Amino acid sequence: MAKRKRLTPLGPMGAPAPTSAPASAEPQADSARSVAPIADMAGAASARAALDEVTETLSRARAEGRMVLHLPHDAIQIDYLVRDRIAVDDEEMTALVESLRARGQQAPIEVADLGDGRYGLISGWRRCRALRQLHEETGDDRFASVLALVRRPDQASDAYLAMVEENEIRVGLSYYERARIVAKAVAQGVFETEKQALQRLFHTASRPKRSKIGSFLAIVHALDGALRFPETVSERLGLSLSRALEDDPGLAPQLRGQLAEAAPKEPQAEQEILAAALEPPAPARTAAEPAPAPDEPRPGVRVSSGKDGRLVLQGPGVDEALKARLLAWLAEG
């Protein structure tokens, strides 16, 4: 049986009619090209969103003081705040330097952003000093910068509070140092009154402790700058001295003169001068009273020579106040 042949309709002039052409590869390529830019744009937008999120996270971490920065020494203003610590113990400083030399800086300092690449030191004064000393000594790049957390205190009072709280926790402050930072904060206009500064800076302290700090303010006002070892003034001596200064306005200039003349080289000698000033004056001798005997230079005090070059003082007038006066007199040469 003959195979049937499919007839193709004739076109014009008898040519076969054109059939539907298959879709060419060129339109398919155009379609692919139209899809690719959309995907690229979506990917770029996603990358930008991720970068923006990372940038925002880092900015927030820095603003909240959770990002540790490497700051060069020259960018840190050491005297941004009046420091509450007066004396620096040489042994403690040496130990800190050697620790930083061996292990590097472990705990960051705290700074306030002052703008234009400058930062004010809030806490970490000793670490800054030690790291700068090591860099000057060794030239090692490890010590060329300081690890720091940027704090953003809303007011200068917050910066002072941060400094005080850190030192209270780390090393403790003497009563004189506590009172001095109260006075300095008021002098710089951070607080309006000493009462306000005392309550704000030492808000965690008990009322009796704040009262004692307030008592030391009289010593700060009268003798700041004249005392060489004010941080060693004991609580008992300080409270007695504070009362005496308030009762006798002439005591402050008298003490400043004595301290300047004696120029004590040790804390004990300075405290003996202060203790001697608190001793009540000896009662005046009336004309009817006999003159003291050579071995009794003052009532209640007898002097005798002991063995091996010793001098013995006896009697009811021999007490701690007399001892302090004698030692101060001997120290003056």
For 121-171, what is each residue's pLDDT tens digit?
887 888 898 999 999 999 999 999 999 988 766 556 777 777 777 666 556
Contact 270, 227 (CB under 8 A): yes
pTM: 0.52
Query: What is the per-residue pLDDT for 28?
Result: 55
**pLDDT in the model for residue 30:** 54
Q: Are 221 and 215 in contact (CB under 8 A)?
A: no
CA atoms within 13 A on the CB side of 80: 22
Give which of 223, 268, 258, 241 is closest to 332, Cα–Cα. Answer: 258
pLDDT attached to residue 13? 45
> 230 with 223: CB under 8 angstroms?
yes
Q: Residue 317: exposed, middle, or buried by beta-carbon count in 10 A (0-12, 13-18, 19+)?
A: middle
* Tokens describing residue 286: 């009336």
The residue type of 286 is T
- State residue 12's pLDDT score: 47
- At CA 156, angle to CA 152 and CA 160, rounded to 5? 95
Q: Which residues of the chain have pLDDT under 70?
A: 1-47, 49-66, 82-89, 152-156, 166-172, 281-295, 306-307, 333
Handedness of CA 257, 262, 267, 269 (dihedral sign): negative
Report d(CA 140, CA 136) in Å as an integer.
Answer: 8
- The helix (H) or strand (E) run that includes residue 304 is strand 302-305
CA angle 29, 31, 37 (to 5 degrees): 105
- The answer to whether 111 touches 119, Cβ cutoff 8 Å, is yes
Separation CA 174–CA 84 (nearest Å): 10
Contact 134, 100 (CB under 8 A): yes
Cα-flanking dihedrals φ and ψ of residue 265, to 5°? -95, -15
Q: Are 73 and 132 in contact (CB under 8 A)?
A: yes
Specify the residue for token string 């403690």: 92
Q: Which of left, alpha, beta for 3 (phi over 0: left; psi -120 to 50: alpha)? A: beta
Q: What is the dihedral of CA 108, 68, 113, 129, to 10 degrees?
A: 30
pLDDT at 189: 76
Both tokens assigned to 34:
């139209």
- Look at residue 274 in the predicted model and tell me its pLDDT: 93
Helix (H, G, I), strand (E, B) or coil at 105: coil
Q: How many CB atoms lie within 10 A of CB 43?
A: 10
